[in-house]
Structure 1
Amino acid sequence: MTPPRDTLTTRLRRFTPAEKWVHRSVSWLLGVCVLTGACLYFPPLAEIVGRRRTLVTLHEYSGIAVPAPVLLGLLSRAFRSDLGRLGRFFPHDWRWLGTALRRRRREPSLAGKFNAGQKLYAAFATGALLIMAGTGVLMWFPRLSPLVWRTGSTFVHDWLALAFAAGITGHVWFAGIDPEARRGLRTGYVPRWWAREEHPLWRAEAPQDPPAEGP
């Protein structure tokens, strides 16, 4: 079926400017962390880029700065509301997960504003970032801990970073195959037909009146 023509009256606001800013800021900081970490971890990349001390500095400070946009985002009521949505798992989320694992794409979606996959990724990302921040501090300030702690921190930090990079890759891939989801992050608005098909439980609770102005 051809989607209806996208006009101001067929769109819903999905994210506020504050939420878009938080997502973009965290994405850029994590991008710096991943790229600099890859250059530090893989010798061929390190040889190509050089300037190891600069890479280390960028990696350390971008990692420490990741929580800053999130903390500033707490000033936004909409952002706090979405954090609450991401932090709660409902019965329909288990059903969505079961449907996704069985790959029954023809079944109707059972998602709220965020589906179960997005909630699981958010939980994993939060835990991974906290652990990597803790282990990173121990590696950054070696005098704070004994050698055995630093050795364990390096092991955990490196392997968790690889797992997190894989998670980011999956996150980007799923966004890449859904242009409306990407547009929602870019403009803050999504078509009503998309919300009805992909997030019907959120669509039911979303305001029915059209937005007062465009993105």
Structure 2
Amino acid sequence: MSLRAEAPPMTRIPRFTRAERWVHRTTALLMGVCVLTAAFLYVPELAELVGRRELVVRVHEIAGVLLPLPVLGGLASRAFRADLGHLNRFGPHDRRWLRAALRRDRRPESRPAAKFNAGQKVYAAWIAGATLVMLGTGLMMWFTHLTPIMWRTSATFVHDWLALTIGVVLAGHIGMALADPEARHGMRTGSVSREWAEREHSLWRP
């Protein structure tokens, strides 16, 4: 018989429903296809590897048009709609979180957060707006006969530079996720440890 006391099991609490995880995964997949195909279309070293450029263009266009659909489908979920409400509300604690982030203060007590922290709220708002702009400018570039040439030229300029910005922001988003295994576990399985929730999202009451 071992004299070593067994560690108590880690308490887990629900964070995301299956519908919420489905929205995230499907959106991530479509966004990944858009970014990957864009890289093969615009980076010369990668473009040389593509034998059927027209096919890559079509895949890029279709993925871009489908990109808003997971979010629209997710509106059927009450939990997803509730999360959109959380993401859309900023409070005094969010301003405190942002100030601590700018100071690079990583102490949990300096970064109070409810279910979503201020960084996640800013990212969600920015990526949603960027997606709509990319969809609008992409449609102008796709259906060239519907708009004047000046509009198409401006749309191409905005689309290309915003695509580069999205790539950089997505890289930062992925980097933050890789640095937080428990957050990834929550998105993958739907539950997180209570200890993590109390440390990283002290104002969240599940």
TM-score normalised by the chain length of structure 2: 0.94
| Match for residue 130 of structure 2 among 118, 122, 128 | 128
Q: Separation in 1 of the partners of 2:9 and 2:119? A: 27
Which residue is equivalent to 1:49?
Answer: 50
Closer, same or farther: CA 45–6 of 1 in aligned 2, 3 Å: farther
Q: What is the aligned-residue RMSD (CA, Å)?
A: 1.1
Aligned residue pairs, count:
199
Q: Extract unaligned runs of 5+ from structure 1.
A: 207-215
Which residue is equivalent to 2:93?
Answer: 92
Closer, same or farther: CA 146–27 of 1 in aligned 2, 3 Å: same
Tell me, what secondary structure is at the counterpart of 2:192? Answer: strand
Is this contact kept in 1: 2:13–2:192, CA < 8 A?
yes
Letter in 2 for 1:98: R
Tell me, what secondary structure is at the counterpart of 2:76? Answer: coil
Q: Separation in 1 of the partners of 2:103 and 2:86? A: 25
Q: Separation in 2 of the partners of 1:164 and 1:193? A: 33
Which residue is equivalent to 2:4?
Answer: none
Q: Separation in 1 of the partners of 2:8 and 2:66? A: 41
Residues 11-54 of structure 1, C-alpha deviations (whole Å, 9 max, x = no match): 11000000000000000000000000111111221111221011
Which residue is equivalent to 1:103?
Answer: 104
Q: Separation in 2 of the partners of 1:117 and 1:102? A: 14
Closer, same or farther: CA 175–5 of 1 in aligned 2, 3 Å: farther
Residues 45-74 of structure 1, C-alpha deviations (whole Å, 9 max, x = no match): 111122101100000000000111111100
TM-score normalised by the chain length of structure 1: 0.90
The alpha-carbon deviation at position 6 of structure 1 amounts to 4.8
Q: Extract unaligned runs of 5+ from structure 2.
A: 1-6
Tell me, what secondary structure is at the counterpart of 1:190? Answer: strand
Letter in 1 for 2:72: L
Q: Separation in 2 of the partners of 1:150 and 1:54? A: 22
Q: What's the % identity of the aligned pairs?
A: 59
In the alignment, structure 1 residue 161 sits paired with structure 2 residue 163: yes
Tell me, what secondary structure is at the counterpart of 1:12? Answer: strand
Q: Separation in 1 of the partners of 2:202 and 2:183? A: 14
Which residue is equivalent to 2:32?
Answer: 31
Is this contact kept in 2: 1:110–1:200, CA < 8 A?
yes
Q: Separation in 1 of the partners of 2:155 and 2:144? A: 11
Which residue is equivalent to 2:189?
Answer: 187
